[in-house]
Amino acid sequence: MKRSISYLVFGLAAMIVAATLSSCEKDDGGETPVTGGNTDELFESILKVYVETTVVPTYKSLAEAALEMRTANNALKGNPSDATMQAASDAWMKARVAWEVSEAFLFGPVGEQALDIDGHIDSWPLEREQIDEVLADGALGLTGEDAWEMEPDVIGFHVTEYLLYREGHSRPIGDLTEAERNYLTAATDALVWDCVLAYVAWVGEANVTQEMRNVFNENPAVVAHLNDNPNYKNFAQRLTTKEGYPSWGAALSEIAVGASEIAGEVGATKIEAPYASQRTMDVESWYSWHSLDDYQNNIHSIKNAYLGGVDDQTRQSASLSSYLAESNASLDTQIKSKINDCLTKIAAIGKDGKSFYEVVRDQTNSTEVTAAVDACIELQTLFDSVIATLE
């Protein structure tokens, strides 16, 4: 995902949504909750649980997976073989999953109006001509520091994917040149720093392990980037104390804003746009044929943000869902049902074992594509109604 709208620019849109959805809310039997008193304490407790059981563990897993990816790619560079190539591909996939399940909370340090980590590591389509120029002109001398300063569409998850995969499979080791192996390790270093930066920015440098602090401080430019944006230092503390927000309801609405954003992104940008344009190059993660998994993992990120935890085994009693279950049970039921509907319908796009790349290329499964897009937009609309009740 390459875009994110912060709370500060969302206020007007939320007011419009509130006006247009008020009659619908009454039909559902819900009432617009008021902030203040015990409700503020409840919102504060929900935010703390959300940060502690969903956001922080997700970014910790992302940082750890990125470090595993670095280890695997260094091994591939030093000892190229089909086995190290497969290990590197597996490590990329693990890190990719960890990233995609974080996309429901791009409103914080990761967003484009903050540190823009999202744009730095997940831009697509790639600039293939520029990548080929790097490989031809100097990839053997490319360092991680060099890569971190390069344009986003020649680094990040998708250039490392391009170097590791073709048509859904790991490339044969004989196809990977020495220049490509060096490009891969340099781009991976840049990716590692961004993933660790996301984790450090959320929790604060003092609250991560010494290993993570060491990695964070490897590149002075990364440290300077966070220092130049102090409002995103230890963002977990800022969110859980509503620092910079006009009310607890406004702070809590960030969860719904993040969920709404990525639901709309999956439906309109990731699925509908490339299918309508028939541009296979616009399909995200198409070298690994991991697109439909990416999109489902984005929906899982919404599920985790809404229900709390990182999976069904780590859910907590305090969550945005539990609050809505008391204040607007019908809306809560609709959201949970629509989340599952999105997962089912996105998976159905790949019926008969097709990748989304093949679906776009061959213009097949149009009924399933339309159904998935509609479900995602419906989920976005439901979260927009949540935003309207909180602000």
State pLDDT tens for residues 237-266.
Answer: 999 999 999 999 999 999 999 999 999 999
CA 361 to chain centre: 25
State which H helix or E strand residue 369 sits in: helix 366-390
Average per-residue pLDDT in the chain? 90
Asked whether the predicted pLDDT for residue 145 surpasses 80, the reply is yes
Give the residue from 75, 2, 1, 16 showing the smallest Cα distance to 387: 16
Rounded Cα gap, residues 3 and 262, in angstroms: 9
Distance of CA 40 to the CA centre of its chain: 28
Whether the CB-CB separation of 331 and 233 falls below 8 Å is answered with no
Q: What is the pTM of this model?
A: 0.90
pLDDT per residue over 151-194, tens digit each? 999 999 999 999 999 999 999 999 999 999 999 999 999 999 99
Indicate if the alpha-carbon torsion angle 228, 201, 92, 289 is positive or negative.
negative
The token duo for 390 is: 């909180």
Say how many CA atoms lie within 13 Å of 390 toward its Cβ. Answer: 28
Say which range, 124-133, 183-192, 323-332, 381-390, has the weakest mean pLDDT. Answer: 124-133
pLDDT value at residue 362? 97
Residue 381, C-beta contacts closer than 8 angstroms, at least 6 positions apart: none
Question: For a pLDDT cut of 90, what percent of the chain falls above it?
Answer: 85
Q: What is the pLDDT of residue 31?
A: 36
CA 336 to chain centre: 20
Q: Tell me how far CA of residue 305 lies from CA of 178, 198, 242, in angstroms.
A: 42, 17, 18
Per-residue model confidence (pLDDT) at position 139: 82
Q: Do 49 and 319 touch, CB atoms closer than 8 A? A: yes
Model pLDDT, residue 38: 65
Query: What pLDDT is stored for residue 252 in this prediction?
Result: 97
> Which helix (H) or strand (E) element contains residue 169?
strand 169-170
Identify the CA nearest to 154 among candidates 129, 179, 127.
127
Q: What angle do CA 245, 240, 95 make, to 5 degrees?
A: 110
**Using one digit for the tens of pLDDT, what is the confidence trace for 1-53?**
443 333 333 333 333 333 333 333 333 333 334 334 469 999 999 999 999 99
Distance from C-alpha of 258 to C-alpha of 124, rounded to nearest angstrom: 20
Question: Among 149, 180, 138, which residue's Cα sits nearest to residue 163?
Answer: 180
pLDDT band for position 129 (50/70/90)? Answer: very high
pLDDT tens digits, one per residue of 257-304: 999 999 999 999 999 999 999 999 999 999 999 999 999 999 999 999
Q: Average the pLDDT over 111-127 and give the result.
A: 94
pLDDT in the model for residue 12: 30
pLDDT of 202 > 80? The answer is: yes
CA distance 363 to 348: 15
Phi, psi of 268 (to 5 degrees): -85, -40
| pLDDT tens, position by position, 306-362 | 999 999 999 988 999 999 999 999 999 999 999 999 999 999 999 999 999 999 999
Maximum C-alpha span of the chain: 66
